[in-house]
């Protein structure tokens, strides 16, 4: 093994170690600690000046109490389940909305595609927070949407959308749509048109050619897009707290409340560790499906 290769492999590993593994170990450690009225607000802290005895003392004080506590309060597992539910539904909606858009983009005349792509990415130029706030302006009782609906005479009374799960879904689908569109577009753009011609030549209608050829061949894009939406949505905090109501249960919100309102870092860390486990499982599944795909493409 030469040093050049070692270096090339080493850089991303050091990066992962510093930015992922070390913070995770810190959070894991806090989750095993107890709450305390001090700075930092937990105990024990590692005191190396006392040597080996200090280290032994430190480890003996770590326990799983916080995880056991999460089990006793149904709020937590309900929030997990509700987060999963919201993530699954909104991923499905994003897919249903995003796929036709990606398809339209991939089939658009060559000279339009750059512009269309630009329009998909354009929202990223403004702050995410501002965009979510503007949805409050749109969805509120006196918001644009209700004014427009009443002016058109479609409804007599303003609809209650803001501070409900519907508003959360709208916000999530709006925010994460580009992450769904881009990988699907990439897959559809690669698709060789002559395959569709071959399918038609062999007796397919346009529709059946779509189901038998286009859809299976855009599967990698669908999988990638779905994970890019699903994983961050599970832990989403800003959208449910700004657009959701008091009955919108999402684990990101709980996490934030534990950290800042309750200042209970150990319990918050335990919530975070569990959330990570929930997210890691799909990531592993994703990795494996990607690997299988890559193998098939070889």
Partner 1 sequence: MAKPSKTPVVFAPWEDETQKPIIQFKNVTKRFGNFTAIDNLSLDIFEREFFALLGPSGCGKTTIMRMLAGFEAVTEGTILLGGKDISPVPPNKRPVNMMFQSYALFPHLSVWDNIAFGLRRSSMPKDEIGARVDEMLRLTRMEKFAKRKPHQISGGQRQRVALARSLAKAPKLLLLDEPLGALDKKLRHDTQFELMDIQEKTGTTFVIVTHDQEEAMTVASRVAVMDHGKLIQVATPAAIYETPNCVYVADFIGDVNLIEGNSKKVGSDKYEVSWAEGQAALHGSCPREIADGTRVTYAIRPEKVAISADKPKDAANAIQGTVHDIAYLGNISTYHVMLPNGQVIKAQESNTRRLANRHFTWEDPVWLSFTDTAGVILTE
Contact residues: partner 1, CB under 8 A? 192, 194-195, 197-205, 208, 212-213, 216-217, 296-298
Q: Can you tell me the distance from the alpha carbon of 34 to that of 48, in angstroms, rounded to the nearest whole number?
A: 19
Least gap, CB of 286 to partner 1 (angstroms): 19
The DSSP secondary-structure symbol of 155 reads: -
Calpha distance 178→121 (Å, rounded): 7
**Is the separation of the CB atoms in 224 and 95 below 8 Å?**
no
Q: Which lies closer to partner 1 via its Cβ, residue 149 or residue 204?
A: 204
Q: Are 222 and 290 in contact (CB under 8 A)?
A: no
Distance linking the first and last C-alpha atoms of the chain: 26
Q: Minimal distance in Å, beta carbon 137 to partner 1?
A: 46
Between residues 56 and 190, which has the closer beta carbon with respect to partner 1?
190
Nearest distance in Å: CB 190, partner 1 = 10
Q: Are 78 and 246 in contact (CB under 8 A)?
A: no
Q: Which is nearer to partner 1, 134 or 293 (CB)?
A: 293
Residue whose structure tokens are 């925010």: 175
DSSP secondary structure of 17-71: IIIIIHHHHHHHHHHTSEE-SSSSSEE----GGGHHHHHHHHHHT--SHHHHHHH
Which residue lies nearer to partner 1 by CB, 65 or 200? 200
Q: Compute the least distance from the CB of residue 220 to partner 1, in Å.
A: 10
Nearer to partner 1, 101 or 196 (CB): 196
Rounded to the nearest whole angstrom, what is the least distance from the CB of residue 206 to partner 1 in the complex?
8
* Nearest to partner 1 of 63, 192 (CB atom): 192
Which residue has 């698709």 as its token pair? Answer: 191
Minimum distance of partner 1 from residue 194's CB (angstroms): 4
Q: What's the CA angle centered on 127, arms 123 and 132, to 5 degrees?
A: 80
From CA 146, how far away is CA 50, in angstroms rounded?
66
């Amino acid at each position: 093994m030469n040093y050049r290769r070692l270096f090339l492999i080493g850089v991303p590993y050091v990066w992962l170690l510093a930015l992922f593994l070390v913070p995770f170990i810190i959070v894991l450690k806090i989750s095993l600690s107890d709450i305390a009225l001090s700075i930092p607000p937990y105990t024990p802290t590692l005191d190396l000046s006392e040597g080996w005895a200090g280290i032994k003392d430190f480890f003996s004080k770590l326990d799983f109490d916080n995880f056991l506590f999460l089990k006793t309060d149904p709020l937590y597992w309900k929030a997990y389940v509700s987060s999963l539910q919201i993530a699954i539904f909104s991923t499905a909606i994003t897919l249903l909305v995003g796929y036709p858009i990606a398809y339209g983009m991939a089939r658009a005349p060559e000279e339009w595609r750059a512009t269309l792509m630009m329009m998909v990415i354009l929202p990223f130029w403004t702050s995410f927070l501002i965009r979510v706030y503007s949805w409050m302006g749109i969805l509120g009782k006196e918001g644009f949407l209700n004014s427009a609906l009443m002016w058109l005479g479609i409804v007599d009374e303003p609809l209650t959308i803001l501070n409900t799960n519907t508003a959360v879904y709208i916000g999530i689908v709006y925010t994460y749509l580009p992450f769904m569109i881009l990988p699907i577009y990439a897959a559809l753009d690669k698709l060789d048109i002559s395959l569709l011609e071959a399918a038609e030549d062999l007796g397919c209608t346009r529709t059946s050619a779509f189901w038998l050829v286009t859809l299976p061949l855009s599967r990698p894009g669908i999988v990638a897009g779905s994970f890019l939406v699903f994983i961050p949505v599970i832990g989403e905090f800003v959208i449910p707290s700004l657009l959701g109501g008091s009955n919108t249960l999402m684990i990101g919100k709980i996490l934030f409340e534990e950290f800042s309102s309750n200042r209970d870092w150990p319990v918050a860390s335990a919530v975070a560790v569990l959330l990570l486990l929930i997210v890691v499982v799909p990531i592993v599944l994703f990795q494996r499906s990607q690997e299988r795909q890559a193998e098939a493409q070889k």
